[in-house]
């Protein structure tokens, strides 16, 4: 196995347990990145030649190597893939009674570049690195041995695949269902297998949705950036008086309303399930101008800060959307504010809440702080893997 040599003093982060090597950390005189084919395995060494671990190389990416072992000369072969996937599976089986969860969470399961969501007998996969792409058939063999899934869907529509020089066209195996009925928190959610957001469903918010539902009794609920209705449907099933879904996708809103009707038929019969399609910033302003108010609001926007250079405008967007949401709350109302941007820290999101409440001359009383569920494990040496934040606050 060839060596990927680091410059002097660039090994500290790797020694501390981090799994990423950046291209500017590599001594390209000793080990030119151009000598590697995307997906090649290499032994990562410090400037003296001491092995630090084994990685798969992506020579054209800023993250040019991702470690899969702390030992040198270790191939990412089928036995290692099987062992890691089996370990990931056993953890989920300890956490959940039924196979509806994130089965593999990339670096959190020591399989960088691989995400797998389990929907009963169906699996949806996202592969984001050349190393994992070149081992796709090995991954399939491991999954067949462990789970014998009836269908697989590779959701390849990822911007990161372009950076890795990989095609973005999706592929599948087996007969794909048009939709899946996902059980969660006592509700059933119809989600799309293809064409949805991410892998079709956001398992990471499972426990935050459960907490949100505790405040739903007799509440008028607004679910902002609702997708197929995760927060709003849980609230509807928990006794909300009305639920309004807001999203930019009319198809997602149709699914959200149908999911709410399935789980709270009395609300549907009363005409208390509605939807609003369009730009959230514009619609929230319009609702305020019209005098609409809600006692329970979920705000779960897409990542406004995808890269470090986006921080300033992204932070302004988080502040603005939280201000717009808070203005729509009745006195003493409850807001669940989430962020999936790694570059926005929990402290920064809490600051957005505090400043947004102050902007309306109110106070934010934090009553819950949550993150991603345990089927999205955080690598202790990689803060990048702890991306989801959720605060629930009473505004008064």
Residue-level pLDDT at 94:
97
**pLDDT of amino acid 163:** 83
For the chain, give every domain's residue range.
Answer: 3-69, 78-173, 179-395
pLDDT at 100: 97
Which segment of 188-192, 197-201, 222-226 scores lowest on mean pLDDT?
197-201
Q: Answer yes or no: is pLDDT of 162 > 90.
A: no
Assessment of whether the complete model's pTM goes beyond 0.75: yes
Q: Work out the mean pLDDT of the chain and round it to a whole number.
A: 96
What are the start-end ranges of the E strands in 145-302?
A: 151-154, 171-173, 179-184, 187-192, 220-224, 242-247, 273-277, 294-299
* Two tokens, residue 193: 């297998």
Q: What is the pLDDT of residue 195?
A: 79
The pLDDT confidence band at residue 306, using thresholds 50, 70 and 90, is: confident
Neighbours of 150 (CB within 10 A): 14
CA neighbours closer than 13 Å in the CB half-sphere of residue 194: 15
Cβ neighbours around 78 below 10 Å, total: 15
- Three-point CA angle 390, 14, 114, nearest 5°: 55
- Gap between the Cα atoms of 7 and 34, Å rounded: 17
Which residue numbers are catalytic?
340
Pair of tokens at residue 174: 């087996």
Dihedral sign for Cα atoms in the order 66, 72, 76, 80: negative
- The H or E element containing residue 235 is helix 230-237
* Residue 259 host element (H or E): helix 250-263
Provide Rg for the chain, Cα atoms. 23
The arrangement of secondary structure in 3-69, i.e. its CATH architecture, is Roll (2.30)
Residue 378 near residue 372 (C-beta atoms within 8 A): yes
Q: Which residues are CB-contacts of 29 (< 8 A; sequence separation ≥ 6)? A: none
Report CA-CA distances (Å) from 369 to 18, 126, 211, 338. 26, 29, 10, 10
109 Cα distance to chain centroid = 15
Domain 179-395, CATH: 3.40.50.150
Residues 247, 259: Cα–Cα separation, whole Å? 15
% the chain with pLDDT above 90: 94
> How many other C-beta atoms lie within 10 A of the C-beta of residue 312?
9
Per the CB < 8 A criterion, the answer to whether 132 and 114 are in contact is yes
| CA–CA gap between residue 118 and residue 132 (Å, rounded) | 18
- 118 pLDDT band, cuts 50/70/90, is very high
- The predicted pLDDT at position 159 comes to 86
* pLDDT at position 216: 98
Q: If you ran DSSP here, which 8-state letter would residue 164 be given?
A: T
**CATH node for 78-173:** 3.30.750.80
CA 134, CA 36: separation in Å to the nearest integer?
Answer: 14
Averaged pLDDT for residues 18-38: 96
**Per-residue pLDDT reduced to its tens digit, 239-248:** 999 999 999 9
How far is it, in rounded angstroms, from Cα 222 to Cα 124? 30
In whole angstroms, what is the distance from residue 40 CA to residue 3 CA?
11
Confidence check: pLDDT of 355 > 90: yes
Question: Can you tell me the distance from the alpha carbon of 156 to that of 102, in angstroms, rounded to the nearest whole number?
Answer: 17
Span 97-117, mean pLDDT?
97
Q: Which residues pair with residue 244 across a beta bridge?
A: 222, 274
- Measured CA to CA, the distance from residue 34 to residue 31 in angstroms comes to 9
């Amino acid at each position: 196995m060839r060596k990927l040599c680091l410059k002097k003093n660039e090994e500290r982060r790797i020694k501390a347990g981090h799994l990423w090597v950046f291209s500017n950390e590599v001594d390209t005189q000793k080990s030119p990145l151009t000598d590697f084919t995307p997906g090649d395995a290499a032994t990562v060494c410090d400037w003296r030649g001491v092995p630090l671990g084994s990685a798969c190389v992506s020579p054209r990416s800023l993250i040019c190597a991702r470690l899969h072992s702390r030992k040198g000369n270790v191939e990412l072969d089928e036995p290692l893939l099987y062992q890691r996937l089996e370990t990931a599976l056993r953890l989920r089986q300890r956490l959940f009674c039924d196979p509806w969860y994130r089965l593999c969470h990339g670096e959190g399961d020591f399989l960088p570049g691989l995400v797998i969501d389990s929907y009963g007998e169906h699996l949806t996969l996202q592969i984001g690195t050349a190393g994992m792409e070149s081992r796709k058939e090995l991954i399939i063999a491991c999954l067949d041995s462990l789970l014998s899934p009836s269908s697989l869907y590779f959701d390849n529509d990822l911007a990161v695949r372009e950076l890795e020089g990989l095609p973005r066209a999706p592929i599948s195996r087996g007969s794909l269902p048009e939709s899946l009925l996902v059980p969660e928190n006592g509700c059933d959610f119809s989600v799309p297998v293809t064409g949805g957001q991410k892998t079709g469903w956001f398992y990471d918010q499972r426990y935050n949705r459960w907490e949100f539902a505790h405040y739903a009794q007799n509440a008028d609920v607004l679910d902002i950036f609702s997708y197929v209705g995760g927060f709003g449907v849980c609230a509807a099933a928990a006794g909300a008086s009305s639920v309004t879904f807001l999203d930019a996708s009319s198809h997602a809103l149709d699914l959200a309303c149908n999911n709410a009707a399935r789980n709270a038929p009395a609300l549907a019969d009363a005409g208390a399930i509605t939807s609003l399609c369009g730009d959230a910033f514009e619609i929230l302003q319009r609702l305020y101008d019209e005098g609409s108010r809600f006692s329970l609001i979920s705000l779960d926007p897409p990542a406004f800060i995808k890269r470090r250079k986006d921080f300033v405008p992204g932070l302004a967007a988080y502040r603005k959307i939280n201000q717009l949401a808070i203005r729509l709350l009745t006195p003493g109302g409850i807001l669940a504010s989430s962020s999936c941007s790694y570059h926005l820290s929990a402290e920064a999101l809490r600051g957005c809440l505090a400043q947004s409440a102050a902007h309306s001359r109110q106070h934010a009383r934090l009553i819950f702080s949550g993150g991603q569920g345990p089927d999205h494990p955080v690598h202790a040496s990689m803060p990048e893997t702890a991306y989801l934040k959720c605060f629930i606050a009473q505004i008064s």
